[in-house]
Chain A
Amino acid sequence: MTAPDATADPPAALATYATVEIGDQLFGIPIEHVLDVFVVTCLTRVPLAPPEIAGLVNLRGRVLTMLDMRQRLGLPARPDQARRLAVGIEHRGESFGLIVDAVGDVMQLAAADLEPNPVHLDRRWAQLSRGIHPLSPRLLVVMDVEAALAPDRAALAA
């Protein structure tokens, strides 16, 4: 499921993405990773944790580690923090939540249309991107979920 070369499928293959917005950017999360979408409540902060870890959330008895995707992408925090949406992800037996700005439709896109990352893409972004779908009117960045859940290498190097 989590094989990174899922995009190397035969050209005719369609990939299904749950779309989310972070900042003004549209992202596609491969649907096989997505468990559910929920509103973040009762976030437990984790002292001493890396900055992109927003905290822990109890989702029906599961403990989810919440990642602030704006922080992860080096974007400024959202001015209004009233209602935060998150996408629940299961990865290697653990549950995570990606905090995003908005959740959109599910899209089916042809794997053949996936373009490589532009060479001058910000390093933090490039790490999390498996490639770009040039949709109209906006670009869709295919999120590398494994990389998103991994420690922020750019921040470590800095």
Chain B
Amino acid sequence: MDDLLREFLTETAEHLDTVDQELVRFEQNPRDDAILRNVFRLVHTIKGTCGFLGLPRLEALAHAAESLMGRLQDGMPVTSEAVTLILATVDRIKLILAELDRAAAEPAGSDGEIIAELERAAGLQQDERGARPVSAEELDRAFRAASGPGESPVAPLAADLPAPLGQDEGASSRVQTIRVAVDTIEHLMTMVSELVLTRNQLLDISRRSEGDAAFKAPLQRLSHVTAELQDGIMKTRMQPIGSAWAKLPRIVRDLAPELGKRVELVMSGAGTELDRQVLELVRDPLTHMVRNAVDHGIETPELRLAQGKPQQGTIRLSAVQEGGSITIEIADDGGGLDHAAIAQRASDLGLLAGQDVERMSEEQIAKLIFHPGFSTAAKVSAVSGRGVGMDVVNSNIAALGGTVEIASEAGRGSRFTIKIPLTLAILASLIVEAGGQRFALPQTAVLELVHVKTGSESAIERLHGAALLRLRGELLPVVELSGLLGLAADGAAERGDFVVVLQVGRKRFGLLVANVLETEEIVVKPMSSRLRHLSAFSGTTILGDGAIVLIIDPGGAAQLAGAALNRGPAELPSADEALAEAAERVTLLVFRGRHRVLKALPLSAVTRLEEVDAATIQEVGGSPTLSYRGRLMPVVPIDGPDGLKREGSQPLIVIEEGGRHLALAVHEIVDVVDAELDIDPVPGRSDLVGRALVRGVATEIVDIGHYVPRLGGHRAAGQDRRSLVLVDDSAFFRDMLVPVLKAAGFSVRTADSAAAARRCLARSPADALVVDLDLPDRNGLDLVDELRREPGLRLPQVVLLASSAGPEMLERAARLGIHDVVSKFDRSGLLAALAEFETAWDAAA
């Protein structure tokens, strides 16, 4: 296609967007001549160019629209009909432009009808084509009043609208922009990357050959200029978010009357810039959300009046940059989300999967609108039913690494907050080496770096092949990156080196790498389509030396590591097959008490390990106490009052309970061991669960419950104790959990099988049921299912204990109305789940 024509198409499309916007504004402020002048000027420009390019259809349309606008400028009253007519003309022009773009020629057809209407509206006699409804002088005068074509409206087309473009602007305030093809910029970007590589090679050579000092200064200059050039190119990729908003005023303007509503769209922060690529990807979600706000958010004028609100509803769209991300808010002052209707609809569609709506929080219900297949639009109008649902919005935003949050207040409106990264193209990263190869890790996921060496303070310890790192008293599961990626372990890992501590969601784990090389801002290149299925990588980049390096996706790495990490204290989602693992495999912290007796605690019960100077432990009110993190923490010697050291360092095991800490003073921390427990009870010892062989050595398994009550139950005295039934076939777990549950204020009954649990509940009801997934006679889920069907039985609130939980299991649990699924070893998680029931019970009372 002709370059001239192509440019015309691009330019005209932008002009028309502006005309759309401006006309809507004009309708609201009919006395604002500046707006009209601006629109007039744009239409005039289009008309002029069409004439020049020989596009008669377009020219005639633009001319007719211009005539009507000329009349408006002359003081003819501005009616909604007139504006609608002009907008319809703009639509027709767009239609012809689309065809022009496709076929490089104006399509055949006649616009006589629309032109006639325009002319009628302009109060002129209908005439044959070629009539001059506006005198040449008139036109000329109007055109002179408008600003010249030099003031390019391109860049600020959607920028903050307040400054009327048509007002007399001094030459100095002109926005100087040019239009550049995206390909050109992308190509420049590639070239600059090449330049960076070359510069780095030069720097490398200069470093090696020390003699040539003469090269140093110019090389440094080159280096500097290259960096600035790269920065500059990056900036050209940035665009104001307003360009994604440009069409919204028109959409709202057209949509509202269709729905019998009156809506004003207020936009702020349109100048906020973000990467072109991100911009393209948020455009549709934003449009959809604004449509939604008009369709579902804003009420009809009658309803609004009845509620004492102004007839006209307001939708506020705002964008603001915060650090490396941009926050977009879409707020309306409508009725807020109708939680009941959403729940009802979700239930009709079968999306609730057995979940009890009564038990869902408003936030949970609100999130249902993101469910695939959900749409509350009962009437499929032009508004809804466009194929984009909120689920697509949600997944699009998530694909960008962003989030959507919903806040809603009945009668006051709702607010959607979208947070997305500014650019996908540049990533601050850490370059590491593993298996003889370099990889990039996004710094956003990196918490810290630990240099580990055998024998040093922070050392990797292995139990059954699973690596653990003691980090400031916390135990962190560690996986080897080379092993994770299936690269031959090069032995480097054994020699220690580095652990990169990563945070993915709530999970934290360490990645063992051979070496950490540098931090670098990398330019992200998409992964090849042939490799996109590899969840471990999110893309590639070219480093300064020209080498290609894969970018590790921390989420994908965490998933890969899932199985390896699940045995550690940090819980990670894992495959269902892990369920088959022996339930009684426990990671134990082994330590010595007085008389050097070996003792052990489940690692999950331990918050931190500390070592303090014995002298810092003081007697407060007759009990040993330590000032810990600004609070006083009771110190309990594990073997009675004489167990405290008088001098030297005192190892402590810190346990946390309801935000309070308790330290168990022990003689020495020995190890962390993965063991299968076969526990023999020891009668008369309430401090022990029993004895067991741990790595072939008789070890006392400590009952934390014995110590935990010292923290004091958090239920006020005199309050009725809630009754709870604990169903677990393992005596070890029952014994482990009962004291903890009692300390939390429950009266506890236990059952060792599903049958026993049913008998127990039949005798007298309970407030809560804690069920192990693996029962000897039945699966825990089946038990809950049966109890739910049992007539006359009031099913208590249920928490399921599982060593690990796959998605299928979670789904079934949700269907059965199971409130929470907690890892068997997650004591605090269990207590937190039970604490959440308080509200339900209080409501029932």
Contact = CB atoms under 8 A, between A and B. Distances in A.
A157 interface: no
B547 interface: yes
A57 B547 CA distance: 8
Contacts of A92: 529
Contacts of A50: 530
Given A44-B437, A48-B486, A63-B542, A57 B548 contact: yes
Contact of B531 (A42, A46, A60, A149): A46
B550 A149 contact: no
- Of listed B487, B537, B548, residue having the most chain A CB within 10 A: B548
Given A46-B531, A47-B435, A63 B540 contact: yes
A2 interface: no
B528 interface: yes
A48 B536 CA distance: 9
B388 interface: no
A118 to B, nearest CB: 29
Interface string A106-145: 0000000000000000000000000000000000000000
A56 B530 contact: no
A45 interface: yes
Interface in A72-128: 92, 94, 96
- Of listed B191, B437, B525, B530, residue having the most chain A CB within 10 A: B530
B484 to A, nearest CB: 9
A96 B529 CA distance: 10
A56 B540 contact: yes
Contacts of B549: 44
Interface string B521-544: 000010011110010110010100
Contact of B528 (A42, A47, A56, A60): A56
B190 interface: yes
Contact of A65 (B191, B193, B528): B528
A63 B437 contact: no
B546 interface: yes
Given A47-B486, A94-B528, A61 B550 contact: no
Nearest to B536: A48
A92 B530 CA distance: 12
Given A46-B534, A48-B534, A56 B548 contact: yes
A97 to B, nearest CB: 11
A62 interface: yes
A44 B440 CA distance: 13
B582 to A, nearest CB: 29
Given A47-B485, A63-B525, A63-B540, A58 B531 contact: no
B189 to A, nearest CB: 9
Interface string A24-68: 000000000000000000101111111001001110111101000
Contacts of A4: none
A47 to B, nearest CB: 4
Contacts of B547: 42, 44, 58
Interface of A: 42, 44-50, 53, 56-58, 60-63, 65, 92, 94, 96, 149, 151
Given A44-B548, A47-B487, A61-B190, 8 more contacts: A46-B534, A47-B550, A56-B550, A60-B194, A61-B193, A63-B528, A65-B531, A94-B529
| The 5 nearest A-B residue pairs measured at CB | A47-B485, A65-B528, A44-B548, A61-B190, A56-B548
Interface of B: 190-191, 193-194, 197, 435, 437, 485-487, 525, 528-531, 534, 536-537, 540, 542, 546-550
